A and B are shown apart, each in its own frame.
Chain A
Amino acid sequence: MTITETLIASALTMTITGAILSLVVPAEGTFQAQPEVADMEQRLRVAVDALTKDLVMSSEVLPYRTGPVNPDPAGSFFDDRITIVLTPPLETLPVSRTYYLRSADATLMRYDGVVTDLPVVDHVVKLAFEHIGYPSTRRVGVTLRVEAASASLRGPAGALFTRAGTSTTAQRYVPDREVHFDVAPRNIDARP
């Protein structure tokens, strides 16, 4: 092997190695973002499961909050909250749960219809309910949107992000994720 051949081989090797290493920098952002994407999916899954489980079993759905603590006027209509009335088979009185979005800290909340409000999922930036057939609701459409927990993975507010973050490069963007699903309450005709 001549010196010329050695030089050409070295140049080729270095060029290829440099190209491979240049992929490492964007990959670092991807490695940081992927666990957050998984967390967002998990938050969506928990929220969808909680809402679906109660909506499927409900005997009545109301577009306002009921109960002794901060109730809305009966008959009012809000598309960002829902009261789900459940009639358990062995209970004499129905129980209710109200789901709503606490906008101050972007948390999906559940009120047990008596005294307690508890958080269900955090970093929820949109919650909307569609009552199909209202006032005799037969089906409920639910829209949920979650955001990346870390502000460093969110960019300026707009189509991709409901709440602005601090990221200045799109390589580290993890856009909000939104789902829509429908549920037909199975016991809607069973109410007394």
Chain B
Amino acid sequence: MIATTILAVGVASLAQLFTLAIGSNLAATHRTRGVMLAAQKLEELRSLDWDAALRAGGTDSVGEYGRRWSVDPLPLHPDNAVTIEVLVTWNHAQVGRLATIASRRTP
């Protein structure tokens, strides 16, 4: 009886490990997708004209993921550079975040 109890406790602990592993894999999948979606939006924002990019803050959703982005003038060079930040959420949790600086090209 004692041996069986010890065995049962050991097996139950292992089962918990499986649950943790599945949860970690799921979280990693969502983080990967989140970063990919953030990169896609970042490239889209970078491709906009300068004036359009300055007004390009907003939100959208791709499937079960939500994206929120902001474009703000860089304090040191507000006329010639902006910081672009994209946040991706899944199930109300942040799973991806990318930021970059884009500069105006003078002809």
Q: Which A residues form the contact surface with B (CB < 8 A)?
A: 132-133, 138-139, 181-184, 186, 189-190
Contact = CB atoms under 8 A, between A and B. Distances in A.
Contacts of B46: 139, 184, 186
26 contacts: A132-B47, A133-B47, A138-B47, A138-B48, A139-B43, A139-B44, A139-B46, A139-B47, A181-B36, A181-B39, A181-B40, A181-B43, A182-B39, A182-B40, A182-B43, A182-B44, A182-B47, A183-B43, A184-B43, A184-B44, A184-B46, A184-B47, A186-B46, A189-B105, A189-B107, A190-B105
Contacts of A133: 47
Contacts of B105: 189-190
A66 to B, nearest CB: 23
A189 B106 CA distance: 9
B15 to A, nearest CB: 16
A182 B36 CA distance: 10
Contacts of B40: 181-182
Describe B's contact surface by its main secondary structure: helix
Interface of B: 36, 39-40, 43-44, 46-48, 105, 107
B98 to A, nearest CB: 13
B33 to A, nearest CB: 12
Given A133-B47, A182-B40, A182-B43, 10 more contacts: A139-B43, A139-B44, A139-B47, A181-B40, A182-B44, A182-B47, A184-B44, A189-B105, A189-B107, A190-B105
Contacts of A189: 105, 107
Contacts of A184: 43-44, 46-47
CB-based closest 3 A-B pairs: A139-B47, A184-B47, A184-B46
A186 B48 CA distance: 11
Contacts of A132: 47
A138 B44 CA distance: 9
A189 B107 CA distance: 8
A156 B2 CA distance: 55
A91 to B, nearest CB: 19
B69 to A, nearest CB: 14
A171 to B, nearest CB: 21
Contacts of A186: 46
